[in-house]
Amino acid sequence: MMYFQELLKPDGRKLTLYSRSPIDEGIIAPSPSNETVAANPHLRWHPLRGEWVAYASHRQGRTFMPPPQYNPLAPTTDPQFPTELPQGRYDIAVFDNRFPSMIVESHNPPASIVETLPANGTCEVVVFTQDPETALAYLELDRLDLLLQVWGDRTCKAPPQIQYVLPFENRGVEVGVTLHHPHGQIYSYPFVPPVPARMLECQLAYYQQHQSSLLPDLIQKEIAANERIIYLDEYAIAFVPVCARYPYEVWIAPIAPVATFNDLSAEQRFALAKALKTVTLKYDGLWNRPFPYLMAWFQAPIDGNPHPEFQLHAEFYPPLRTKDRLKYLAGTELAAGMFASDTLPEEKAKELQAVVVNLETPVKL
């Protein structure tokens, strides 16, 4: 069962607490500042790429690598120096970002030589735990199950103008993390962004031709090949995809067709939690060090239409190609949009398969 409590911060931002057990009564939402967030981001159209670009100059002042004693994502201990989170019994917290790239109230975009629009979306921070010293891989399975429910709940509660909800986590300085406390974000867009839009286009074309879903069919081929699988049970799978663009790229998905978080059965959700924990533990166990990555969860648009073609899944993009070398995106990747890999997915899958993990009592690095 999921419990939640909705609160309002002194600066007007929303805070929602989630828990597997009843949440303490009388919790007051803190904020590092009582001043209303002064943000009015806007969008500009990129005519050569056919996509929107967000402009949010106020983000230049966002928090950057504070010392542990000034961790804004830890629960407040001194009322004179409030953080984003209150003291109390709860598991996960979601709040409006103080430095958003999009806000619902955005208005009056500046005129330009290209089309402009208000950036009428939302940017939320999801704090996975009150413990600043842990990581996603070391959370209990039922908390990861709760996190999947939270992502579904935030999708349901997106404002009416939202068409796409994208949960993600950046982990490690190698991908630009500025706060080490275990957390992710949820961006909710007033349009379907280019990457999921392309996924939607490809999956729809396949569905119209075959009357079945592209990714579930690909998963069946991965199961039959049995070369790149990292985790597999009756309901969920994790694997290095045959078309991996990054050396240690991994996808996680339900085996049966599922369009959104809210379409998951309890069994599928818990299986995804086990797959998620397995992958992140194997990452850390590969070189016995915290493993950086970008994790993104793709689901169907929330445009009011059914999307039997779209499959909920996560994709991990790790920036390391060896223990101490980054895979830099250069000319062919950034300019041409074609990735070039120096390694085969089958080789990297074997490395991850060889890492032994314990889902019950993992050793934290």
> Which residues does the annotation mark as catalytic?
183
- The label of the residue with tokens 């070369």 reads 227
Residue 326 corresponds to which tokens in the numbers above?
Answer: 């980054």
Rounded to whole angstroms, how far apart are CA atoms 45 and 114? 6
Rounded to whole angstroms, how far apart are CA atoms 217 and 170? 29
User: b/e string for 66-88 if b means 16 or more Cβ within 10 A?
Assistant: eeeeebbbbbbeeeeebbbbbeb
Greatest extent of the chain over all pairs of C-alpha atoms, in Å: 62
SS (H, E, C) the chain: CCEEEEEECCCCCEEEEEECCCCCCCCCCCCCCCCCCCCCCEEEEECCCCEEEEECHHHHHCCCCCCHHHCCCCECCCCCCCCCECCCCCCEEEEECCCCCCCCCCCCCCCCCCCEEECCCEEEEEECCCCCCCCHHHCCHHHHHHHHHHHHHHHHCCCCCCCEEEEEEEECHHHCCCCCCCEEEEEEECCCCHHHHHHHHHHHHHHHHHCCCHHHHHHHHHHHHCCCEEEECCCEEEECCCCCCCCCCEEEEECCCCCCHHHCCHHHHHHHHHHHHHHHHHHHHHHCCCCCEEEEEECCCCCCCCCCCCCCEEEEECCEEECCEECCCCHHHHHCCCCCCCCCHHHHHHHHHCCCCCCCCCCCC
